[in-house]
Amino acid sequence: MVEEASIAITLRFGPADLMRCRFALSPVLETIEAIRLTTPEDLPGHHQGFLDSVRHQLAALDLRSVTLLQPRRGYSPDFLSPPPTVPSPRFEDEMARIEATPLDRVREEIARSLRHTRGADRTEPGRRMLADPADALRLLTGVIRDVWGEVIEPVWPKVRALLDADVAYQSRRMAEGGLDRLFAELHPQLRWHDGVLTRDRGNDEHRDLAGEGLLLVPSAFKWDQVLVILDPPWQPAVIYPARGLATLWQPAGAAKLAVLGRLVGRTRATLLADLTEPATTTVLAHRHALAAGTVSEHLTVLREAGLVVGQRHRHEIRYRRTPLGSALLDGST
């Protein structure tokens, strides 16, 4: 699994591939991506409140072996999150697949990942994993099991509901208009044209699917970018942020926006609070499970009130809060 770089990844579909696209969920993937959010290099986004609520559980665990293999830009071992073979695998079934990984693959993928982080191979966990792949596999799976049991499993019904809702929505769009309709709004980083799916900001890889089809995996904790898995033996897979993920922990933060919501409207207050960094209409619509036109209307009102401002960045308009918008939000919370 390669994190975003600066060029693009393209996937070319043939006639057989059009019939072999499917959706699946992965509790192990969600666990690993939640671990990633504990590192200083990754922004927690809408998960900050959740991470704050479980900080004591996380502090009691040594996560270094996993986080060391999660460079912000570069390669993370595919064997730790193999694409699901069934739509809704159990956590234990996914762990059994990981634990059955051949040790030569474990050694190769760990070494490849460590090369993407300067000095990682000289840290104590790095040296330990390179010295003994069997021990590395036990260490990594132990950490994943601990985080699942202490942090993710208690909230899995809520996370699962979000992922199920995304799959239902995307499946309906695909049934109504095929891949043209599905990929039109699956995620802002994805573009579809003439049988080719392109992920912007990739690492310049080009793949003819040649009848393998594509696995689509929504994620709650991989909230800020799209990942692509192309290396064998896995089926080509695209991991994308689930639609509506900004609503996942909403009840915990809704009370803080109640006063501002009564003043400007709940949706406008939520969008204003979301603009901690510049975002486009399309991105905001995806995060909040809203129509792009609805978001555009709310942003127009906020802009006319002087609470947000739009700035052109290449071919898109990105909105950010103004000082007045930040002051209003701070005063209400």
DSSP annotation string for 40-73: TTS--GGGHHHHHHTHHHHHTS--HHHHTT--SS
* Of 198, 216, 187, nearest in space to 8 by CA: 198
User: Contact 271/297 with Cβ under 8 angstroms?
Assistant: no
Percent of the chain with pLDDT over 70: 94
What pLDDT shows up at residue 316?
81
Q: Are strands 205-208 and 7-12 parallel, antiparallel or unpaired?
A: parallel
Residue with tokens 């996370």: 159
Tens digit of each residue's pLDDT (9 = 90 or more) over 23-60: 999 999 999 999 999 988 888 888 998 999 999 999 99
Q: Is the pLDDT of residue 6 over 80?
A: no
The DSSP result for 129-179, as a single string, is HHH-HHHHHHHHHHHHHHHIIIIIGGGHHHHHHHHHHHHHHHHHHHHHHHH
For the domain spanning 249-332, the CATH number is 1.10.10.10
Judged by average pLDDT, the poorest of 4-13, 76-85, 317-326 is 4-13
> Which residues neighbour 145 within 8 Å (Cβ) at sequence distance 6 or greater?
95
Asked whether 190 and 268 are in contact (CB, 8 A), the reply is no
Cα separation, 167 vs 178, whole angstroms: 14
pLDDT at residue 96 in the model: 97
Contact 221, 48 (CB under 8 A): no
Q: What is the pLDDT of residues 314-326, one digit of tens each?
A: 778 889 999 998 8
Does the structure show a pLDDT above 70 at 255? no
Q: CA-to-CA distance for 305 and 308, rounded, in angstroms?
A: 8
**Residue 215: other Cβ atoms inside 10 A:** 21
239 phi, psi to nearest 5 deg: -105, 120
Report which of 20, 28, 12 is spatially closest to residue 214, judged by C-alpha positions.
20
For the chain, give the number of residues: 333
Give me the residue spans of the domains in the chain.
Answer: 7-241, 249-332
Report the pLDDT averaged over residues 59-63. 94
Q: Is 259 helix (H, G, I), strand (E, B) or coil?
A: helix
Q: What is the longest distance spanned by two Cα atoms in the chain?
A: 61
Q: CA 324, CA 281: separation in Å to the nearest integer?
A: 20
pTM for this predicted structure: 0.83
Query: What average pLDDT does the structure give for the chain?
Result: 89
* DSSP H/E element including 10: strand 7-12
**7 phi and psi angles, rounded to 5 deg:** -115, -110
- Cβ proximity of 245 and 46 under 8 Å: yes
**Ranges 1-15, 158-172, 180-194, 283-297: which has the least confidence:** 1-15
Please give the DSSP secondary-structure letter assigned to residue 24: -
